[in-house]
A = this chain, B = another copy of it.
Amino acid sequence: MTGFDTAEFAARTERAQALMGDAGIGAMLLTTEPDVRYFTGFLTRFWESPTRPWFVIVPASGKPVAVIPGIGADLMGQTWVDDIRTWSAPDLSDDGISLLCDTLRDVAGQNPIAVPDGHETHVRMPLADLARLQQSINIMSDNGIMRQLRMIKSPAEIAKVKRACQIAGKAFARVPEIARDGVPLDDVFRAFQMLCLEEGADWVPYLAGAAAQGGYSDVISPAHGKPLQSGDVLMLDTGLVHDGYFSDFNRNWAVTQAKTDAQEAHAQLIAATAAGFATARAGNTAADVYQAMQQVLSDRSDGGSSGRLGHGLGMSLTEWPSLIPTDHTMLEPGMILTLEPVVATEQGIMVHEENIVVTTAEPYYISPPAKPELPVI
- Which stretch of A105-113, A187-195, A260-268 is in the interface? A187-195
Write out, one digit per residue, whether chain A residues 196-230 have a CB within 8 A of any chain B CB (1) or not (0). 01101111111110000000011111111100000
Write out, one digit per residue, whether chain A residues 296-312 have a CB within 8 A of any chain B CB (1) or not (0). 00000000111110010
Write out, one digit per residue, whether chain A residues 56-98 have a CB within 8 A of any chain B CB (1) or not (0). 0000000000000111111100000000000011111101000
Write out, one digit per residue, whether chain A residues 3-21 have a CB within 8 A of any chain B CB (1) or not (0). 0000000000000000000
B120 touches A123 (CB 8 A): no
Q: Chain B CB within 10 Å — which of A118, A119, A128 has the most?
A: A119
Tell which of B46, B121, B197 touches A127, judged by Cβ atoms closer than 8 Å: B121
- Which stretch of A272-280, A322-330, A358-366, A367-375 is in the interface? A322-330
A48 at interface by CB-CB < 8 Å: yes
Question: What B residues does A124 contact at CB under 8 A?
Answer: 122
Given A118-B128, A322-B51; A45-B186 close (CB under 8 Å): no
A2 at interface by CB-CB < 8 Å: yes
* Nearest CB in chain B to that of A125: its residue: B122
A339 at interface by CB-CB < 8 Å: no
B48 touches A307 (CB 8 A): no
Question: What B residues does A305 contact at CB under 8 A?
Answer: 70-71, 73
A327 touches B71 (CB 8 A): no
Tell which of B189, B201, B316 touches A50, judged by Cβ atoms closer than 8 Å: B316
C-alpha spacing A122/B204, complex, angstroms: 24
Question: What B residues does A177 contact at CB under 8 A?
Answer: none
* Nearest CB in chain B to that of A131: its residue: B117
C-alpha spacing A370/B230, complex, angstroms: 46
Count of chain A residues near B, Cβ 8 A: 81
* Nearest CB in chain B to that of A224: its residue: B2
B222 touches A326 (CB 8 A): no
Question: What B residues does A208 contact at CB under 8 A?
Answer: 44-46
B189 touches A193 (CB 8 A): no
A311 touches B51 (CB 8 A): yes
Question: What B residues does A135 contact at CB under 8 A?
Answer: none
A43 at interface by CB-CB < 8 Å: yes
Question: What B residues does A116 contact at CB under 8 A?
Answer: 127
B50 touches A318 (CB 8 A): yes
Question: What B residues does A90 contact at CB under 8 A?
Answer: 119-120, 307-308, 322, 324, 327
A75 touches B327 (CB 8 A): no
A contact set with B: CB distance below 8 Å: 2, 32, 43-46, 48-52, 69-75, 88-93, 95, 115-128, 131, 141, 186, 189-191, 193-194, 197-198, 200-208, 217-225, 239, 304-308, 311, 316-318, 322, 324, 326-327
Can you identify 25 A-B contacts, CB atoms within 8 angstroms?
A2-B224, A2-B225, A44-B220, A49-B206, A51-B120, A71-B305, A71-B307, A74-B217, A74-B221, A75-B220, A90-B120, A90-B308, A90-B327, A92-B322, A95-B119, A117-B127, A117-B128, A117-B131, A118-B128, A119-B126, A123-B127, A190-B202, A193-B204, A194-B197, A202-B223
Listed from nearest, the 5 A-B pairs whose CB atoms lie closest are A117-B127, A46-B220, A49-B318, A74-B218, A117-B128
Known: A45-B208, A49-B318. 16 other contacts (CB 8 A): A32-B50, A44-B221, A48-B206, A48-B316, A49-B206, A50-B316, A71-B219, A71-B306, A88-B304, A89-B307, A90-B322, A92-B324, A93-B326, A123-B123, A190-B198, A194-B197
